[in-house]
Chain A
Amino acid sequence: MKKFFLTVFGLLCFIPLGLHAEGPEELFEQANTAYYKNQLKNAEERYKQLIAGGISSGDLYYNLGNVYYRQGEFGEAIQNFEKALRLNPRDADVRANLKFVEQKRVDNLGETFASSFFRIFFFWYSYLTLKELILAFTLFSGLFWGLAWLNLLFHKSFFRWGAALFFVISLVIGSSTWFKYTVEGLQTWAVIVKPEVEVRSTYLESSGTLFKLHEGSKVRVIDYQKFGEKDAWALMRLPEGQKGWVRLEELGII
């Protein structure tokens, strides 16, 4: 009897292996091959399949951005390059491709004061991922507390000065981390993915058009209104503060 259960258990353990005939590596290979063969829809589906399978990789988003660009969908390309940049901010290819595709953008929306401030005075901010910033903050704050602790025990000026130094470093990295977390974790950003979008004064098709935006423009989403699956609206804000409603389907959330 015991043998029977062990056999059944063993078989059950092997069933999942049989179900995963196409591993991520194979899918990735197929997607890359499809891209090179210009079978872009095929490549798009496979990259999406990998991402949907739980692999959140900057390289995958980057490749998907390339696929969209090749298909002439600049909005989706920018959306995916932005996602890739969040994960691989020092990747020269991602930066170059994003900059290249952004040149095709029609609208010139400017930049918020906070982002320009951080870009200038916290230059490392855009070269580090949120994960790296958190790790750096953890390290330096740990050093600060460690030295402060040693000072508490031994009352040596070396420890005191060391703690003060790491406190300042932690403060700078902590504020960068908080800003990055606010932008990437708390706020929702999106890219216009339709050639031209009418921004309305309210979430009704019949409401007046305030202005128009074009594909690739990056906006911040601050509210949603959903009236069923096919009628969803997003309230977006431009860097200079203007607000308006667009259909959710016209946005690609970063």
Chain B
Amino acid sequence: MRKTLFLIVCSFFLAGIQTAQADVSVSASVDRAQATLEDEIYLTVTVRGVLTGSSEPVLPPIPAFKAIQSGTSSSIQIINGNIETKKEFSYILIPKDEGTHTIGPISVLAGGREYKSRPITIQIGSAGPVPRQNLPSLGKREDVVPQAEEGGKEYWMTAEVSNADPYVNEQILYTFRFFTRVNVGGAQLTIPEFKDFWSEEVVPEKKYYKTIGDQRYVVSEKVIALYPLKSGSLEIPETSLRLEVPDDARGRFFNDSFFNFPTMKMKQKNLRAKPILVSVKPLPPGKPENFTNLVGQFGLSVNLSNPEIKMGDSTTLNVELSGQGNVKDGVLPLKAELPAFKTYDDRPAVDTVKSETGIQGKKSFKKALVPVQSGEFSIPPFSVSYFDPQKGTYESLTSPSLIVRVLPSEAERLNPVTARSSSDSAVKESPVIAEDIATIHTDALALESQQWGTGSKALVFAGLFFPPLLFLGTLAFQKYQTQKRENASVYRSRTAWYHFQKKVEKLSRSREKGDKVLEELTDSLRDYVGDRCGIYGRGLTVADMTGHLEERDAGRDLTAKFGQLMQQLESSRYGGEAQKKQAFEWINEAKNLVRAIERKIKR
């Protein structure tokens, strides 16, 4: 069902398309039939009924206008099942000449056929007048070509040169100014191509107020320095300014700045300044030999960074050419050979100052002088020639003669390199050993690389580091073992009294009696002595124990008492004298005696 519906809709559209292509029409219209040279005219070419395969409109030759394509739009309308397609091509026509001009039929190719519009006639009048003005002074005022006429106007522009008959290479100023007392927008300035001039922008854009009559205008100014490259009559083509200005149709009242709404209706305007003819004079004959096309007013200064130097040091000759004109074209005028020096030229530096009066600047040349011998040397004077357009004559600038004193350097005295001579001891020590060198080696072994291989490096590293590591490891192990032994002995010695106390207290609390108590007490005493001396105590005889205690500085009396106590305990234990004393009495006696011994040893 859906498939059927889709096919029906497609058929419907295709049928419509066929209908539309069968009926193609082209029409052309302009937004106004009358305009001035400052206006823009919008031309619209409408093509109806063409969907595919149509070409863009082909405009006929219209020399009176400059045509700029400004866009296209298309639309499809379906009204009661009828499809109408429409395509609009927009153009902006900028008038070039006054008069009545006809735009011929505009053609469009569609479906292999050519369709044409009807011709359009447009009447172009001249631009409106501008008010009388007092332009800012600029060079020779009489050379300014006035483009303004009397009368009031809201905006206008001028373009002029400071000198209409300069010499070749003489600097002249091209000044563009735009005056307005209404708000304008979207300004696009088209500066002409100065193809016969070398140009450099002097003032990129400057704005200021100017009162002309009783109206206050905002003036936008741009100044470009021009240097004519050849003589003869040279034309600077027209300068144009495209901008948006308030539409007069909205009434004067709303043009007041108070009502400067952002939505104010604007219209496009094209202002143009007429081409300027400049009559360039050739330079007069009689050019000096050292003339290098410098035209203007210049000065020359020359100095040395250090007039007195040592051998091995260097000094710099600074030459500065400054003034107004084509200073960039200056070349270092020093041509003379300086045999006493090695010379090195640095890249010249140009430093310019741009102002409304033109470009002034200086070109600095630096020449490093490295003496090759000591003594007093003169740098001869040299001269620069230029053409002064104000005087109309060639002028010459001459430098003073400079003196450089070169002293013998320390380097000469310190020169460590002595040439070998027949009397040189070094030569005597190494007499000629052969008439010629030994011949080459042709053995195939020569191809064995003598560099370290990775395996060799690894072996060497192993050989270097393994033996010391083995030694140090063994040493560390031995130290560790010794320390461990020593530490265990010290620990036992320090804790002997503590462990004895613990055992005795435990014995006191136990319910053991008779032989068992004596046995444990004697064992505890043996353990105490053993711990104190870092040996096994249980196997010690009474004599061994007293001997060890004496070695530990327990004192003879205490040692003797200890011996007696041990003998009494063992007698009681094995001789049946246990009943002589109660168990706790033995324990207390042993405890007190060991405490006394401990104190004595610690002291």
Interface of A toward B, CB cutoff 8 Å: 24-25, 28, 32, 35, 50, 54-60, 62-63, 66-67, 69, 87-88, 93, 96-97, 99-103, 105-109, 129, 131, 134-135, 137-139, 141-142, 144-146, 148-149, 152-153, 201, 205-214, 217, 238, 240, 242
Interface of B toward A, CB cutoff 8 Å: 311-314, 344, 368, 370, 409, 411, 414-420, 424, 426-427, 430, 432-434, 436-452, 460, 463-464, 466-468, 470-471, 474-475, 478
The interface residues of chain A lying within 8 Å CB-to-CB of B430 are: 99, 102-103
In Å, the complex CA distance between A165 and B370 comes to 62
The interface residues of chain B lying within 8 Å CB-to-CB of A146 are: 467
The interface residues of chain B lying within 8 Å CB-to-CB of A144 are: 467
The reply to whether A108 and B470 contact each other, CB–CB distance below 8 Å, is no
Nearest chain B CB to A178 CB, angstrom units: 13
In Å, the complex CA distance between A238 and B311 comes to 21
Secondary structure call for the A interface: helix
Indicate which residue in B344, B437, B441, B478 contacts A101 across the interface (CB closer than 8 Å). Answer: B437
The interface residues of chain A lying within 8 Å CB-to-CB of B311 are: 208
Q: A109-B417, A208-B370, A212-B417 are in contact. Are A56 and B440 (CB under 8 A)?
A: no
The interface residues of chain B lying within 8 Å CB-to-CB of A148 are: 471
Nearest chain A CB to B310 CB, angstrom units: 8
Nearest chain A CB to B139 CB, angstrom units: 44
Nearest chain B CB to A167 CB, angstrom units: 12
Q: A62-B440, A63-B440, A206-B370 are in contact. Are A211 and B445 (CB under 8 A)?
A: no
* Closest chain A residue, CB of each to CB of B425: A108
Nearest chain A CB to B356 CB, angstrom units: 41
In Å, the complex CA distance between A59 and B474 comes to 46
Indicate which residue in A66, A209, A217 contacts B439 across the interface (CB closer than 8 Å). Answer: A66
In Å, the complex CA distance between A40 and B231 comes to 64
The interface residues of chain B lying within 8 Å CB-to-CB of A60 are: 446-447
The reply to whether A213 and B312 contact each other, CB–CB distance below 8 Å, is no
Nearest chain A CB to B6 CB, angstrom units: 50
Nearest chain B CB to A155 CB, angstrom units: 11
The reply to whether A97 and B432 contact each other, CB–CB distance below 8 Å, is no
Q: A93-B438, A101-B437 are in contact. Are A108 and B448 (CB under 8 A)?
A: no
* Closest chain A residue, CB of each to CB of B314: A208
Shortest Cβ-Cβ A-B pairs, 7 listed: A59-B446, A145-B467, A208-B312, A206-B344, A93-B438, A138-B463, A206-B368
Indicate which residue in A57, A58, A141 contacts B464 across the interface (CB closer than 8 Å). Answer: A141
User: Can you show 16 pairs from A to B with CB atoms below 8 A apart?
Assistant: A32-B440, A32-B442, A56-B450, A56-B451, A58-B450, A60-B446, A93-B441, A96-B434, A100-B437, A106-B419, A131-B452, A149-B470, A153-B474, A201-B312, A211-B416, A212-B417
In Å, the complex CA distance between A93 and B440 comes to 9
In Å, the complex CA distance between A214 and B427 comes to 16
Indicate which residue in A28, A137, A149 contacts B446 across the interface (CB closer than 8 Å). Answer: A28
The interface residues of chain B lying within 8 Å CB-to-CB of A134 are: 460
The interface residues of chain B lying within 8 Å CB-to-CB of A152 are: 471, 474-475, 478
In Å, the complex CA distance between A152 and B370 comes to 72
The interface residues of chain B lying within 8 Å CB-to-CB of A101 are: 437
Nearest chain B CB to A201 CB, angstrom units: 6
* Closest chain A residue, CB of each to CB of B470: A149
Q: A25-B447, A109-B417, A242-B414 are in contact. Are A210 and B312 (CB under 8 A)?
A: yes
The interface residues of chain A lying within 8 Å CB-to-CB of B417 are: 107-109, 211-214, 217, 238
Q: A96-B438, A138-B460 are in contact. Are A149 and B370 (CB under 8 A)?
A: no
In Å, the complex CA distance between A97 and B439 comes to 9
* Closest chain A residue, CB of each to CB of B420: A108
In Å, the complex CA distance between A57 and B474 comes to 42
In Å, the complex CA distance between A206 and B436 comes to 41
The reply to whether B464 and A138 contact each other, CB–CB distance below 8 Å, is yes
In Å, the complex CA distance between A87 and B226 comes to 72
In Å, the complex CA distance between A103 and B430 comes to 8
Nearest chain B CB to A53 CB, angstrom units: 10
Nearest chain A CB to B159 CB, angstrom units: 48
Q: A107-B419, A153-B474, A206-B368 are in contact. Are A142 and B312 (CB under 8 A)?
A: no
